[in-house]
Amino acid sequence: MSLLDIQNLTVTFPTPRGPVNVVDGVSLALGQERLGIVGESGSGKSMTGRAILGLVRPPGKVRADRMLFEGQELQGLSDRAMRKIRGARISMVMQDPKFSLNPVMTVGRQIEEALRTHESLPRRALKARVVEMLDAVRIHDPERVMRLYPHEVSGGMGQRIMIAMMLIPRPRILIADEPTSALDVSVQGQVLDLIDELVRENGMGLMLVSHDLHLVGRYCDRVMVMNAGRVVETLDAKNLHAAQHPYTKGLLAAVPRMNETRDELPVLDRSKWAST
């Protein structure tokens, strides 16, 4: 059974010119695998992730023919029931640790809180789990780091702390929304390797949302390309370079290469697809 089975997901927002489908009939299935969702700004890739977690705020509306998580329908769940899934069974790492960590709470307490919200454990066991988790995200002196505040840690360490916080309740699915775009290249690889390793070790499903086709191609098994709320094509990551759809090909070609010889970069003809 797949972890996630979504059929015909639509997210609609009202605008002065009538309702707009920012996600428009997306279907996907996620097993114990790494699925990449790629697209440009406004393609609906982040909204897809948020809709799964029930994080689309009114006036936005989410509809789907089905949205099953381990066979359970997510639509129509009470807030209370949804809170038991969100964070505990499906969790999400966002782009910038600077904005997603609580600035007035120590790192240790935040990670602890993430666990305490979903499990009741004795104090000592709680602390042991936090230390173990920090160790798993390669923070070598967990005792010291636990006492730090978010402004005292670097971006890369902040993102590792976020990952620790998201994985400590042992979720089945991790949604990572641009987890490294706020980080330097030297740290990006480490953070992605870490996510990759933890996801494999724990037999989780990963949904990696990014604008970076090459990065997604490297870290995922399958890649889903989105444009204007629709899935343009889904392909195996290893076949990314053999993409068929002109939009995917256009995106791949528009990225400068290290051994660049082109005098001009090819530009997408936006008139062929919905303009963003």
258: contact with other proteins by CB under 8 A: yes
17: contact with other proteins by CB under 8 A: no
Q: Which residues contact 186 (CB under 8 A, 6 or more apart)?
A: none
Q: 266 in the Ramachandran plot: left (φ > 0), alpha (ψ -120 to 50) or beta?
A: beta
Q: What are phi and psi of 93, to 5 degrees?
A: -105, 130
Q: Give the other-Cβ count within 10 Å of 133's Cβ.
A: 25
Window contacting other proteins (CB under 8 A); options: 74-82, 87-95, 122-130, 266-274: 266-274
C-beta closer to other proteins: residue 60 or 189: 189
Among 83, 127, 170, 211, binds other proteins (CB under 8 A): 211
Among 20, 128, 255, 274, binds other proteins (CB under 8 A): 255
Locate all alpha helices (DSSP H) within the chain, ordered by sequence: 45-52, 79-85, 97-100, 107-116, 123-136, 142-146, 155-167, 185-201, 213-219, 246-254
Among 63, 127, 138, 218, binds other proteins (CB under 8 A): 218
Cα–Cα dist 213/191, whole Å: 17
31: contact with other proteins by CB under 8 A: no
Q: Give the other-Cβ count within 10 Å of 44's Cβ.
A: 25
Considering the complex, what minimum distance in angstroms separates the CB of residue 186 from other proteins?
6
C-beta closer to other proteins: residue 81 or 265: 265
Q: Which residues contact 109 (CB under 8 A, 6 or more apart)?
A: none
Between strands 230-236 and 222-227, the pairing is: antiparallel
Closest CA to 219 of 202, 245, 200, 203: 200
Count of residues in contact with other proteins, rule CB under 8 A? 31
Considering the complex, what minimum distance in angstroms separates the CB of residue 37 from other proteins?
15
C-beta closer to other proteins: residue 43 or 91: 43
256: contact with other proteins by CB under 8 A: yes
Window contacting other proteins (CB under 8 A); options: 50-58, 144-152, 194-202, 252-260: 252-260
170: contact with other proteins by CB under 8 A: no
Cα–Cα dist 173/156, whole Å: 22
251: contact with other proteins by CB under 8 A: yes
Structure tokens at 245: 């759809």
Among 77, 131, 149, 189, binds other proteins (CB under 8 A): 189
Cα–Cα dist 271/267, whole Å: 12
Cα separation values, 161 from 112, 146, 150, 176, Å: 11, 10, 9, 14
Window contacting other proteins (CB under 8 A); options: 13-21, 74-82, 201-209, 246-254: 246-254
C-beta closer to other proteins: residue 66 or 270: 270
Considering the complex, what minimum distance in angstroms separates the CB of residue 41 from other proteins?
6
- Give residues 41-80 in contact with other proteins (rule: CB under 8 A): 41
The binding site for other proteins (CB under 8 A) comprises 40-41, 155, 184-186, 188-189, 211-214, 218, 250-251, 254-260, 262-268, 270, 276
